[in-house]
Every structure is written in structure tokens, then in C-alpha cells.
């Protein structure tokens, strides 16, 4: 998925709208978390998230994404087990021992928020618990580097460093991104990189940082629905994402119930 190549500087007023979109995304996450249990289908999760959009006066960033050829049919992506990202909500019923990645996006007065998390359904294997814990920790390590004066390579290097001691594949085919009036804007924000390299981060930018870590290799395949990305080896995959705003007052994670200044 690619958007504009232009990096636009956001104002404080723009960021205020992105914070409302972000709070809507956080509430969509909470609604999904509350109903995800064995026996529930991924389309049930989508239905729970739809109600929240209406409450916040937001539209979905995902519904219809991709254009008339193959519009995305959900307001969230639901990616169980070996699915990495972009899974379509549907008949799949969650079972004890599954994991499911939930990605949600909302638009408030034209401004986007985008965030994802992976949750365990019932009891999961220890190595799977570790995968989730390491992926979320990598996200926060990346967010900590998202500050004015740093470079994009600092984010990628920090994410990669958390994965390094573990037998984990860091997905390289899909990456984080700039975000604002479009969900996917320039620049790309890879989950790998070199400290001190890449684009200089400046006030007025906003990024979605989103490590995708696999228990097996980093290789991925797209299914026949032309959306769902799965691991090539069938190993479980986790995905954690937040939107971060580079403001005059510091970096703010907007996709939490309460925006958090880092
Ligand atoms: Mg994203």
C-alpha cells in the first residue's frame, strides 16, 4: 500500500484531530478485546468495532481501501495465527490457543489514526506469549526513537535490536508509514535500519510504527483474496502498532485511550 510521496507538515490543530481519531482507534481496540474469546468469529469482532466509529463521529480508514477493484470489506483487519497483516473479517472462529492481530484505523474530520495489537485467545504456548511480548516491546523501543532530531534509521534499528536475541523473523516486506490526511503517506518506516541513517525527523511529522515479528522466517505470501498476508512457513506472527505525532511539546502517542507524551 503506498500513498503520497510528499511529507506534509501538520499543525497543532491537525494533531488535535489526529488525537481524536487515535482515541477512536483505542476504543475500537477495547471493544474488540472485550468480545474476543473462543467461539467468536472475526466478523463479530468487526461488528464490535463498527459501533465505536459511530460513537466518535469517525469514519473507517480501512473500509473500501484499495479502490473499486478489490475494496477492503471490514473496518478492522483480523489476522489470526500465521496471518501477518490485512486479514479480512469473516467466518473464521477463534479457538483456544489462537492469537489474532487486530488493526484498526479511524478518520476524524479528514485526519487518520492507525494502530494494531495481537492478543492471545485462551491459553497459548509460552513461545507464542514471548512473541507477543517481544513484538510489543519492539514497538515501544521504536516509538522512543521517534523524536525531532533523530533519523528514521534510529527507529528501525531500535525495533530490530529487540528482536535480535530471539529466534524471530522481522518482516521486511511490510513497513510502517507516515500518516495524516491519508492513512499511508511518505515516508516508509521500516522495522530495520542503521542508527543515524535515513530521513531526519522534524516537528509536524506523524508516523505509524508497526513491527511485524514471526516465530519462523521473515518470508510472507499473499493469499488468493489478494489481501491476507501470511507467513510462508505457517509460523505464528504478531503485529503491534501505534501512531506517534512529533509535536512542539514532544512526541505524542495518539492511539491510546489518553494520548501519551513520550
Ligand atoms: Mg499502519
* C-beta separation of 114 from 183 below 8 A: yes
Q: Which pLDDT score is estimated for 9? A: 95
Q: Which residue is listed with cell 503485529? A: 239
Q: Which pLDDT score is estimated for 1? A: 46
Cα 113 to averaged position of ligand 1 atoms, centre (Å): 9
In this structure, the number of other CB atoms found within 10 A of the CB of residue 70 comes to 11
Domain boundaries, the chain: 12-261
Taking alpha carbons only, the member of 20, 21, 69, 30 closest to residue 183 is: 21
Task: For the chain, give percent helix, strand, coil, nearest 5.
Answer: 25, 30, 45
What is the pTM (predicted TM-score) of this model?
A: 0.97
Q: CA 177 to CA 244: how far, in whole Å?
A: 11
Cα 240 to averaged position of ligand 1 atoms, centre (Å): 9
Cα 176 to averaged position of ligand 1 atoms, centre (Å): 6
Phi and psi at 154, nearest 5°, equal -65, -35
Tell me the three state secondary structure of residue 211.
Answer: coil
Low-confidence ranges of the chain (pLDDT < 70): 1-4
Q: Which pLDDT score is estimated for 5? A: 73
Angle (nearest 5°) at CA 57 between 183 and 61: 20
Cα 14 to averaged position of ligand 1 atoms, centre (Å): 19
Phi and psi at 134, nearest 5°, equal -70, -40
Cα 9 to averaged position of ligand 1 atoms, centre (Å): 19
12-261 carries CATH number 3.90.230.10: yes
Helices 12-35 and 42-56: crossing angle, nearest 10°?
A: 140
Cα 210 to averaged position of ligand 1 atoms, centre (Å): 6
Q: CA 133 to CA 164: how far, in whole Å?
A: 14
Q: Which pLDDT score is estimated for 4? A: 58
Taking alpha carbons only, the member of 178, 181, 138 closest to residue 160 is: 138
Please give the DSSP secondary-structure letter assigned to residue 249.
T
Q: CA 145 to CA 149: how far, in whole Å?
A: 10
Cα 241 to averaged position of ligand 1 atoms, centre (Å): 7
The residues, any chain, with a CB within 8 Å of residue 68's CB and separated by 6 or more, are none
Q: Which residue is listed with cell 511480548? A: 133
* C-beta separation of 75 from 39 below 8 A: no
Amino acid at each position: 500500500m503506498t500513498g503520497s510521496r510528499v511529507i506534509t507538515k501538520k499543525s497543532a490543530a491537525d494533531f488535535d484531530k489526529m488525537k481524536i481519531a487515535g482515541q477512536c482507534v483505542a476504543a475500537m481496540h477495547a471493544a474488540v478485546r472485550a468480545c474476543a474469546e473462543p467461539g467468536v468469529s472475526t466478523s463479530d469482532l468487526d461488528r464490535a468495532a463498527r459501533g465505536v466509529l459511530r460513537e466518535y463521529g469517525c469514519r473507517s480508514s480501512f473500509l473500501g481501501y484499495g479502490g473499486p477493484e478489490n475494496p477492503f470489506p471490514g473496518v478492522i483487519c483480523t489476522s489470526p495465527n500465521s496471518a501477518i497483516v490485512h486479514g479480512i473479517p469473516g467466518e473464521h472462529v477463534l479457538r483456544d490457543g489462537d492469537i489474532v492481530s487486530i488493526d484498526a484505523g479511524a478518520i476524524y474530520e479528514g485526519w487518520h489514526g492507525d494502530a494494531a495489537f495481537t492478543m492471545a485467545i485462551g491459553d497459548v504456548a509460552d513461545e507464542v506469549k514471548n512473541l507477543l511480548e517481544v513484538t510489543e516491546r519492539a514497538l515501544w523501543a521504536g516509538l522512543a526513537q521517534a523524536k525531532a532530531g533523530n533519523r528514521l534509521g534510529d527507529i528501525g534499528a531500535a525495533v530490530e535490536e529487540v528482536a535480535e536475541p530471539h529466534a524471530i523473523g522481522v518482516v521486511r516486506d511490510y513497513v510502517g508509514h507516515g500518516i495524516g490526511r491519508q492513512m499511508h503517506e511518505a515516508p516508509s518506516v521500516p522495522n530495520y535500519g542503521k542508527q543515524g541513517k535515513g530521513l531526519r525527523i522534524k516537528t509536524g511529522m506523524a508516523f505509524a510504527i508497526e513491527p511485524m515479528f514471526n516465530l519462523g522466517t521473515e518470508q510472507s505470501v499473499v493469499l488468493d483474496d489478494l489481501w491476507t498476508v501470511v507467513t510462508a512457513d505457517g509460523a505464528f506472527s504478531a503485529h503491534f502498532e501505534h501512531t506517534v505525532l512529533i509535536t512542539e511539546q514532544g512526541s505524542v502517542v495518539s492511539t491510546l485511550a489518553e494520548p501519551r507524551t513520550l
